[in-house]
Structure 1
Amino acid sequence: MTSAIASLIALVSAHPGWAYATIFLAAMLEALPVAGSFVPGSTVILGLSALIGSGSLELLPVLASAAVGAVIGDGLAYWTGHRAKRAILQAWPLSAYPYVVARSEEFFERRGALAVFLARFVPPVRAFVPVTAGALGMPPQRFFPINVAAIALWAPLHVVPGLLAGSALKQWGTTLHHHLAALAVIVVALGVVAFAIRQYLHRADDPKDRIKDRIKVI
């Protein structure tokens, strides 16, 4: 995976115009149910954001590409759930991930609107909460303001660290794709933040335990 991302960064370094489309697609696909569990969107956005520091890309278009991609991805997932209702949670391909779907449903039922905001920072729930919110009847006039606010924070948190890493590497006089270790450190740091949020969410009530209790009752 690391070598593939390194090759992608090297490619768009030679063709910077492709980077914005790649960031858009990475953010959109990462937001879709199931696909978001496999697409390393955050890593791609971090890596390509480092090209801002080298002067190959511009900050505002990168932020816009990431944010718009995330809004469209979350929006597609939400409207799919909103139209299909709860039945979509038991339909393929979501039926292949019963634990994650059940966890997302528990998360949404316990946290409500806050779940929409926090889920954007916690994979793999991030890819399942929007469709769950739609399926469980959250009104669009409530979902989208919260979702857009979360993305407005999420995008800079992914782009700015990459920018800083790229600027540092440029000052060191080195090339980006030879120093993915620096980007890996940033990814780990974001992972720690996501883990801290997850631990906070589980402190009051562990959804996994609640699922087990529900199974025992049945």
Structure 2
Amino acid sequence: MELFSFLVDFILHIDDHLFELVVDYGLWIYVILFLIVFCETGLVVTPFLPGDSLLFASGVVAGTGHMGYLEVLGVLLVAGVCGDAVNYAIGRHVGPAIFSRDSRFIKKEHLLTAHAFYERHGGKAIVLARFVPIVRTFAPFVAGIALMCPRQFFSFNVLGCCLWVGSLVSAGYFLGNLPWVRENFGIIVYAIVVISVLPVIIELLRARFGKRQAAPRELSNPYERTPEDK
């Protein structure tokens, strides 16, 4: 419970905490930022770490001169790309075991559907997932399990990360130190979180109230293909 309270306080007052970390750790702040973003995007067990709000707050702190704008962009871009790449690699590694049988928590049928989805819309899914908390953490893992083409994944991984990091850090850098932004920073963080999860809410509502789709065609197991096909 104390950990949950700390995380909520850290996210809602992340600008203040970053200022404190800069004062306490100096240049090590870049290592701290790298580790947070890397873990949030690269490990399926840490989706609760701050993402969007951290990027925006990092831009705010950079705008005050306490961190370098280009340095923040570079560190967070590398962290985000590497995080997704590691998550994807883990997914490909555990894929054969998961596809070989149904488990209590993961149905093989769902993974086959995910594989077909990534073959058709994988690039768009990877880019859009960057802006959705929780989904951002699991999308590369599922893409790896579903055997999304590595070259395609890497290209859209870099593109999505550039859009995600570039837009939020730049917004914080250029807008974060305006008086009305500073006075309402908590509200803005709430707004960022709400806007980020809207796509998930919309998709859930569409799935709940939308029309039934036609029965899908038979899906093939990608791990049964020959090495040449992969």
- Tell whether the structures are fold-level matches, with TM greater than 0.5: yes
Match of 2:145 in 1: 135
Indicate which of 170, 173, 178 corresponds to 1:163: 173
Larger radius of gyration: 2
Q: For 1:1-218, what aligned pairs fall within 5 Å after superposition?
A: 1-5=7-11, 6=13, 8-15=17-24, 16-88=26-98, 105=114, 108=118, 111-169=121-179, 179=183, 181-189=184-192, 191-192=194-195, 194-196=197-199, 199=202, 206=207
My pick for the range that moved more, 122-131 or 39-48, is 39-48
What per-residue deviation string (whole Å, max 9, x for no partner) do you get for residues 143-171 of structure 1?
100110011100022212222344224xx
More helix per residue: 1
**Cα distance in 2, alignment partners of residues 131 and 32 from structure 1:** 8
Shift of 1:187: 4.7
Partner AA of 1:112 in structure 2: G
Q: TM-score under structure 1 normalisation?
A: 0.72
Match of 2:223 in 1: none
Equivalent position SS for 1:29: helix
**Cα distance in 1, alignment partners of residues 138 and 105 from structure 2:** 10
**Cα distance in 1, alignment partners of residues 208 and 46 from structure 2:** 21
Q: TM-score under structure 2 normalisation?
A: 0.69
**What runs of 5+ residues in structure 2 fail to find an aligned partner?**
1-6, 217-230
What per-residue deviation string (whole Å, max 9, x for no partner) do you get for residues 163-198 of structure 1?
2344224xx8xxx7xx5x425415514632551586
Count of matched residue positions in the alignment of Structure 1 and Structure 2: 199
Shift of 1:71: 0.7
Partner AA of 1:85 in structure 2: G
Shift of 1:43: 2.1
**Is the alpha carbon distance of 1:125 and 1:8 closer, same or farther for their aligned partners in structure 2, counting shifts above 3 Å?**
same
Question: Conserved in 2, the CA contact under 8 Å of 1:13 and 1:51?
Answer: no
Partner AA of 1:188 in structure 2: A
**Backbone CA RMSD of aligned residues:** 3.8
**Cα distance in 2, alignment partners of residues 191 and 130 from structure 1:** 22
